[in-house]
Structures are given as structure tokens and as C-alpha cells.
Homo-oligomer: A and B are copies of this chain.
Amino acid sequence: MNAERASPHPVLAALSGAVGSRVRTDAETLDRHRHDAWVLADLHDFQGRPAPRPLAVVEPATVDEVSQTLRICREHRVALVPMGGGSGVCGGVEPGAAAVVLSTRGLSGLVALDDRDLTARFRAGTMGDEAERLVRERGLTIGHWPQSVALSTVGGWVATRASGQYSTAYGSIEDVLLALEVVLPDGSVLRTRETPRAAAGPDLRQLFLGSEGTLGVVTEVTFSLRPVPEVSQGQALHFSTFADGLEAIRRLVRAGHRPPVVRLYDARESRRHFHEACPRGRHMLLCIHEGTAPMVAAELDAVQRICTDADGAVAEPSVVDHWLRERNRVPSFRSFLEQGVIVDTIEVAATWSRVGAVYDGVTKSLSAVEGILSATAHSSHSYRSGTNLYFSFAARPGDPSKLAATYDECWRRTIEATLAAGGGIAHHHGIGRVRRDYLAREIGESGVALLRSLKRVLDPDDLLNPGNLLPTRRR
């Protein structure tokens, strides 16, 4: 049967009845909602076997319309895939031809801002940079700066458990989120209280932080803001080994310092990003200190002393300005694919005693991949007990038909080497499709069983973003 002549799926009429023209089935809209920013989806597009268009894209304008959309899809047993800015890089959005996409972009804007309480409530589809702009006008900041800030939504930050570049002082999204509104798979609405802290049973917000569209649709978020700091001042140092740089970070965090930005690049990344400003073979550390002038001055000095005691050499602070200008500029995956090169990033985390072995193990294992061009890393989010590593790899297999296989091999080696060294396999990009079959290695079989139980009780028909997050094996 010719699909284009097929009668439209009955769910479409029901959705149109509920939300009118906010059901889109034009080719251009459907095309833009076939997948997120996962490189493997780009590869499939490039190779001329693109992911199919979804059945429809619904863009509800109210929470009530979100509820209705969920109820109608459930009634028709049609899968529904929530989508925000589509900037995810793990394949969390790949609806396929039989599913409806629920775009949150119709839910946009600031609902309430309270300067005294330092709170801002946004509708979930508000873009990150727009949300930040709206609070900056009042002298406030969300303090959450994912690289995707201009491509992602505030609801997406919550649904994916995002971290931003200023997380070492300001925390990840779970530390910024004060309250949320979420529509559950049965269409009912959960709103948590805007209160600074509660011991009233398990924290229900946490079920949706990182649920990646599988347990509900986040429709509103309230963030706990900060005033824009009086002073923001950067410094840079470089180290003769990556391990020395990590040791300096460990010591400065242990001493109680929390510069919002603490980024250590290995020698290859240092050269790639900072060129001549970083002597060859040296590993560059950037810090940005924020607060009142005297506190910033004191912290900058104290951190510099800790770093030079750990054999760091002071570099031109202008590299920090360079980073600030360039930090969100990322070449397209497509431009690499056109050169026969597959690239990706993989962020993991480990305690201090393990992170050096994770770095060594992963870079060594990746270097054995056929066609590997580079395997590098930086650390960009630090904690009292450890830090993350953000690996980047590029590979050009001799046979271009092997791009996908090479990609899988790079991922497999990175995950295996991370686990072998005792690290955790997902710091802030999430699970999606790229990590789902490794999930049991991270949270254990009993963790996966528990997640499956949560999924079953909330979404018994497996209609909300099916195929995402949970392992495909043993279903």
C-alpha cells in the first residue's frame, strides 16, 4: 500500500479536535522532528537512509493541551515522544514512523520572577539563552551554561539532567531546580511545591530529572537564581602532565574553593583550542572566579598558589577570554562526515583515585581503533570526591561504509575502559539510545529492574518515548 494514499491515522483527527492547528503533518515540520543531534542520525541522513518522519508533531500551548495529547495517544495506543530543542547527542529522540512527537516549543516564556526569592518560573519550551536573557534584565542569572544553551530548552535541561560549564560552583540542573510541573503518562498533572527544601517522602522531582521523556512531560520549571556576580575573573595555568593538572584541581576543591569554571585540557586539546598560547606538550587549566571583588581576589590567589605548588606554570589569562568567545562554537558533524571522518564526545566521571586510570585506559584503548585520528579529553565539572572526563574522538576508517562500525567500536572501548577503571559511564549527556545497552553496567541489573518497575507503573503500555533510556535486551 502506498503510504501517501493511506487514510490518515485516526489519532490525528482526535488530536486536531483537541489542539486544532497545533497538529502539524507538513513535510518540513516532520523532517525537523525525525531525530535529535545524535551523530549517528546525521550519519544515516548523510548515507541516504534517513530516520523516518514521525506521524505528526503536536505543539501544545497549555498544560491542559499536553494532558489531552497524552490521553489521546494513550487511548489510540500511539507512542508519544517529547522533544524540546532537539540538541541531545545521545539519540534520545528518534520517534520512527509510528509515533507522534510532542514539541514543547509551544510552551514558552517566563511565567513569574521573584527577585526577593531569587526564583524564576518558565514554561518548559523556553530556549536556554532566552531564559537567561529574561533574568539578566533583572540583574539575575540562572548560572546554568550547557554548551547547547542557545539550542536547548529549560525543560530539556531537567529531562536530561544537564550540567553547565559553571557547575563547579553553581551545581548541575538538579541543584538549580526548585520546583517543576510535569504531565504524567496518564495525563494527570504533578506540581511540586516552591519551597527551598522538604523532607516529605522521596523527592518526586528526581523521578523526572534524567527521565529523558520516558516517565512524563515536563511543562514548567522553577529555578533558584543568583544575582549576576559583581566580578568575574579568569586565570590560566599549565602543567607538564594531565595527572598533575587533575591533582591541582583535587587540591583546590578539597581546600574549599569553588571557582564556577574549572577546566583542564590535555595537551592535544590545549594545542587545538589555544594554539601558541599553550606551550607544546603542556596541559592547560582555566579557572573563572566569581563573587564580590575581595572574595574573588582571595580565591584567585589561593587557587593560583595551590596550582603552582602542584607544579603549574601561570599562563596568559587572555586564553580565558578566548575560551569565553569560542566556547559554544562546535563544527557540524556533517562537515566531518563529508571528509569521511566520524567524531563524537563521551563524558564519564570518576572519583579522584580512579580518574587518572580512566583517562589513561580510554585514550590507550581508543588509540588502537583502526583509523583513529585523535582521542583526547578535558575535565570540566569537579566535585569534592572526583571529576568528569569529556572525551573527544575522531576516526577515518579506510572503508567509508565502516563509519558506523568504527563509531560503535569507539564507544564500546570508551565505556569498557571507563568501567574497568571504576568510573561511571555518563556524566551529563544522558543515556538515550547510544548508552542504553550499557545502562546495567552503570546502575546494575537491580537498578535496571527498578527503573523498569517505575516505567511499568507510570506508563504500562510503554508509549512515552519507547526505546529510549532502558536497555533493549531482555525486554
A206 to B424, CA, bound (A): 18
Kindly supply a per-residue 1/0 record for chain A positions 300-344, scoring 1 wherever the CB is within 8 Å of any chain B CB and 0 otherwise.
Answer: 001000000000000000000000000000000000000000000
Tell me whether A116 and B353 are in contact (CB under 8 A): yes
Contact of A196 among B204, B209, B386 (CB under 8 A): B386
Q: Does A50 contact B (CB under 8 A)?
A: no
Q: Cα distance A443–B206 when bound, in Å?
A: 14
Q: Which residues of B contact A299 (CB under 8 A)?
A: 295
Complex Cα spacing A262 to B190, Å: 33
Interface centre among A224, A227, A250, A385 (most CB of B within 10 A): A385
A444 to B, closest residue via Cβ:
B191
In the complex, A24→B215 CA distance in Å? 43
Binary flags per residue of A444-468, CB closer than 8 Å to B gives 1, else 0: 1011011101101110000000000
Q: How far is the CA of A226 from the CA of B255 in the complex (A)?
A: 9
Question: Residue A402 at the B interface, CB < 8 A?
Answer: no
Contacting residues, chain B, for A302 (C-beta < 8 A): 292, 294-295
The answer on a CB contact under 8 Å between A201 and B211 is: yes
Q: Are A453 and B458 neighbours in the complex by a CB distance under 8 Å?
A: yes
Which residues 167-204 in A have Cβ within 8 Å of B in the complex?
172, 174, 178, 184, 188-204
The tally of residues in A whose CB lies under 8 Å from a CB in B reads 91
Closest Cβ–Cβ distance, residue A81 to chain B (whole Å)? 17
Rounded to whole angstroms, the CA-CA distance of A439 and B199 in the bound complex is: 11
Contact of A446 with B199 in the complex, beta carbons under 8 Å: no
Q: Are A351 and B117 in contact, with the CB atoms below 8 A?
A: yes
13 extra A-B contacts, CB within 8 A, seeds A195-B351, A198-B424, A294-B302: A116-B250, A116-B352, A117-B386, A118-B385, A184-B450, A192-B443, A196-B388, A197-B424, A199-B210, A199-B426, A199-B427, A201-B210, A207-B450
A residues sitting closer than 8 Å to B (CB atoms) are: 114, 116-119, 160-163, 172, 174, 178, 184, 188-204, 206-212, 215, 224-227, 229, 250, 254-256, 291-292, 294-295, 298-299, 302, 349-353, 381, 383-388, 423-431, 435, 439, 442-444, 446-447, 449-451, 453-454, 456-458, 469
